[in-house]
């Protein structure tokens, strides 16, 4: 039995851990009726495209129209170690074409990656995962039609458990570390309100948050883009219909 409190981390166990977490992340994207279907497991990898495991991005994974692998990037962080004591750390992503997306696959489209922080666990998980699944379904339609001007759409979803502090930390990870194109599908007023100043500071919009609260409408902020009607509008509609 390994004493985990004193064991020195080494690359094989670290990589094995990331693999295990990656498997869990893929399975969580699958419907309950699909979990025992291995082909659906593979489909979930290439449909989701980009995953985040312990704050580290994996992907893009992309299969071309013939069903063959088109891009299979894996980790987007290069792991490094100290020469003396094998201290494990990561280097930021490099701006280079992935080796698994070589010149032979130069027609592989680029990705526009969006981020989401929402309740994917706990009592509000149905709302957060519902928003995520709806966005992925819409992205899937666009991607099957060739994407947008050759760009495929991808979503990175992080679980905040409907906690403002977790949502703030996730948002910082998405806009600072992962440099997402935009933020989508946030759930709840308190969580969105905590995230909005962080998103605005990085000039990244939060689009279509699941809230009708006034803070994201007045005063007007260009980084809070609403899709849902306000709570006031919803109440007025109920009064009109009653």
Residue 30 · residue 44 · CB < 8 Å: yes
Distance CA(119)–CA(106), nearest Å, equals 37
Q: Which of 108, 134, 166 is the last residue of a domain?
A: 108
Q: What is the arithmetic mean of pLDDT over 62-88?
A: 53
Q: What pLDDT, on a 0 to 100 scale, did the predictor assign at position 91?
A: 40
- Selected residue with higher pLDDT from 179 and 91: 179
Range with the poorest average pLDDT among 53-57, 93-97, 144-148, 190-194: 93-97
For 193-214, how does the pLDDT look when each residue is reduced to its tens digit (9 = 90+)? 999 999 999 999 999 898 888 8
Q: Is the pLDDT of residue 109 over 60?
A: no
Q: Based on the fold, state whether residues 101 and 140 are members of the same structural domain.
A: no
Q: Which pLDDT band, with edges at 50, 70 and 90, does 101 fall under? A: low
Residue 61 · residue 72 · CB < 8 Å: yes
Q: Which pLDDT band, with edges at 50, 70 and 90, does 84 fall under? A: very low
Q: Based on the fold, state whether residues 155 and 228 are members of the same structural domain.
A: yes
Q: Based on the fold, state whether residues 128 and 185 are members of the same structural domain.
A: yes
Q: Which of 64, 81, 108 is the last residue of a domain?
A: 108
Number of domains into which the chain is organized: 2
Q: Based on the fold, state whether residues 116 and 91 are members of the same structural domain.
A: no
- The model carries a pTM of 0.60
Q: Based on the fold, state whether residues 49 and 79 are members of the same structural domain.
A: yes
- Selected residue with higher pLDDT from 211 and 16: 211
Computed over every residue of the chain, the mean pLDDT equals 76
Q: Is the pLDDT of residue 139 over 70?
A: yes
Q: Based on the fold, state whether residues 26 and 117 are members of the same structural domain.
A: no
Range with the poorest average pLDDT among 57-61, 174-178, 211-215, 226-230: 57-61
Q: Which of 108, 142, 158 is the last residue of a domain?
A: 108
Q: Based on the fold, state whether residues 130 and 44 are members of the same structural domain.
A: no
Q: What is the arithmetic mean of pLDDT over 3-12?
A: 53
Q: What pLDDT, on a 0 to 100 scale, did the predictor assign at position 57?
A: 73
Q: What pLDDT, on a 0 to 100 scale, did the predictor assign at position 74?
A: 74
Q: What is the arithmetic mean of pLDDT over 225-234?
A: 80
Q: Is the pLDDT of residue 34 over 60?
A: yes
User: Tokens standing for 1?
Assistant: 């039995």
Q: Which pLDDT band, with edges at 50, 70 and 90, does 8 fall under? A: low
Which residue range is the domain that position 197 belongs to?
A: 109-242
Q: Based on the fold, state whether residues 93 and 2 are members of the same structural domain.
A: yes
Q: Is the pLDDT of residue 9 over 60?
A: no
Q: Based on the fold, state whether residues 227 and 118 are members of the same structural domain.
A: yes
Q: What pLDDT, on a 0 to 100 scale, did the predictor assign at position 63?
A: 61
68 strand-pairing partners: none
Q: Based on the fold, state whether residues 90 and 122 are members of the same structural domain.
A: no
* Class of residue 58 by CB neighbours under 10 A (exposed 0-12, middle 13-18, buried 19+): buried
Share above pLDDT 70 across residues of the chain, in percent, rounded to a whole number: 74
Q: Based on the fold, state whether residues 126 and 29 are members of the same structural domain.
A: no
CATH number of residue 164's parent domain:
3.40.50.2300
Q: Which pLDDT band, with edges at 50, 70 and 90, does 182 fall under? A: very high
Q: Based on the fold, state whether residues 97 and 211 are members of the same structural domain.
A: no
């Amino acid at each position: 039995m390994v004493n985990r409190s004193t064991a020195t981390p080494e690359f094989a166990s670290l990589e094995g851990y990331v693999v295990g977490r990656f498997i869990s992340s893929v399975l969580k994207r699958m419907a309950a009726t699909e979990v025992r279907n291995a082909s659906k497991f593979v489909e979930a990898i290439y449909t989701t495209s980009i995953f985040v495991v312990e704050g580290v991005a994996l992907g893009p994974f992309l299969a071309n129209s013939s069903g063959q692998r088109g891009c299979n990037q894996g980790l987007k962080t290069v792991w490094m170690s100290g020469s003396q004591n094998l201290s494990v750390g990561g280097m930021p992503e490099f701006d280079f074409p992935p080796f698994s997306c070589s010149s032979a696959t130069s027609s592989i489209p680029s990705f526009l990656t969006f981020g989401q922080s929402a309740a994917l666990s706990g009592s509000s998980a149905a709302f957060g995962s519902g928003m995520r699944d709806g966005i992925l379904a819409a992205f899937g339609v666009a991607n099957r039609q060739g994407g947008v001007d050759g760009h495929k759409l991808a979503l990175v979803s992080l679980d905040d458990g409907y906690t403002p502090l977790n949502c703030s930390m996730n948002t910082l990870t998405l806009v600072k570390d992962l440099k997402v194109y935009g933020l989508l599908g946030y759930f709840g007023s308190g969580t969105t309100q905590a995230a909005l100043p962080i998103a605005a500071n990085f000039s990244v919009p939060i689009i279509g948050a699941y809230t009708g609260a006034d803070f994201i409408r007045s005063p007007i902020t260009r980084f809070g883009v609403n899709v849902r009607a306000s709570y006031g509008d919803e109440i007025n509609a109920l009064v009109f219909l009653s």
